[in-house]
Amino acid sequence: MRKSNGNLAANGTLYWYMAPGVVAETDLAGTTQSEYVFFGGGRVARRDGATGTGGVFYYFSDHLKTASVITDSAGIIKAESDYYPWGGELQFVNNDLNHYKFTGKERDSESGLDYFGARYYSNGLGRWVSADWSATPVPVPYAEFIDPQSLNLYGYVRGIPTARFDQDGHADCGWWCRTKQRFRNSNVGLGFRTDDQVKSTAANFRNRITKDETLQVYFGDKGELRSYTRDQLDKMSDAQVIALVDEIGPDAPSNEATQEMAVALGAASQYNDITKGNSVKNIQTDVKRADFESNLSANGWNKSTSKDGLTTIYEKDGAKYVIRDNAKSTGTPTADFYKAGSNEVNIKIRMPQ
């Protein structure tokens, strides 16, 4: 976001957003003005200047994430305020440049309005200055018809500002609303998540893959190994990304064993998961041993042979493949994959004669 009061770089502000909110502010030339630290979704500290030359300040907030006290690094109070239920401020100490006030949202110094993202809120009126809206056309956006307060498109947190706060400028979603979202999303394959959790989970997963990386996902039920680039993930719907998250886990988009299996198998036409019970994952492929080893060599794996000449070993970055021509368990060429630092087989890949 850009906010400008003129043509000079020093007269404007660029806002840098991440999941919790604004994490940095720069002028229009990119010079850092302030950086913010968040914990538990709330702003807890600020560092001013490109290298902190402007000082470090700490925020002490209430249950609504409203910062009532701000101190410097020595613990000296620089700003102290009480807030009325609807957001009006009663200042006691005002020696700080903080402009994030009621519920942690930015207060415009000219209009006195609070910016929530989707729209502006007037703490003097205790209501929004514009009607709520939805990206998908609906008769009454974000309404729950069992609660008449939700039908007021200008009303703030359904008239309960002492216990609720609005996250992004749309009508707040209370406990019952979020519970219904969880069950609805669960029924359509999105997991027991709220709408916000669906969006944030999908966004966080996409951000773990850089523009130059490729994500390999093995679908055991289909026997398929698929590749996804960051551009493809960006074009996918949140529901499609959530399906990937639930398939491989949100914290492991780059599964080492799956990635290396993709390198070794190359462009094989068939992958069949023949794992039984709790045994090691077994993959059956139509890639022949010669092609399998050729793929490894082409990708920088170092080859060695056991003393008896019966086992071929490929190693790279601590990981290794141990290939036997006629394994006892299968009678066909088999490659055992060991992840870096592991003494246990992670994947068995069975090849044709």
Task: Express each pLDDT in 177-221 by its tens digit.
Answer: 677 788 888 888 888 888 778 888 888 888 888 887 777 676 655
Q: Assess whether 14 and 97 both reside in one domain.
A: yes
Let me know whether 7 and 100 are in one domain.
Answer: yes
Q: Please compute Rg for the chain using Cα positions.
A: 28
Domain boundary among 75, 104, 133: 104
Bridge partner list, 350 = 284, 334
Confirm whether pTM is higher than 0.85: no
Q: Which domain holds residue 19?
A: 2-104
State mean pLDDT over 305-328. 86
Q: Final residue of a domain: which of 56, 78, 104?
A: 104
Element (H, E) at 183: helix 175-187
Confidence of residue 267 (pLDDT cuts 50, 70, 90): very low
In a domain, 164, yes or no: no
Split at pLDDT 50, 70, 90, the class of 252 is very low
Alpha helix positions (H), 189-306 = 195-207, 230-235, 238-248, 256-265, 289-298
Structure tokens belonging to residue 283: 């993959």
Same domain, 282 and 318: yes
Burial 311-349 (b: 16+ CB within 10 A, else e): ebbbbeeebbbbbbeebeeeeebbbbbbbeeeeebbbbb
Q: Are 332 and 350 in contact (CB under 8 A)?
A: yes
What are the structure tokens assigned to 344, written together?
Answer: 């246990």
Residue 167 lies in a domain: no
Q: CB-side exposure of 209: number of CA atoms within 13 Å?
A: 25
Angle at CA of residue 351, ends 345 and 352, nearest 5°: 155
Q: How many residues does the chain have?
A: 353
Number of domains in the chain: 3
Task: Tell me, yes or no, whether 115 lies in a domain.
Answer: no
9 or 15: whose pLDDT is higher?
15
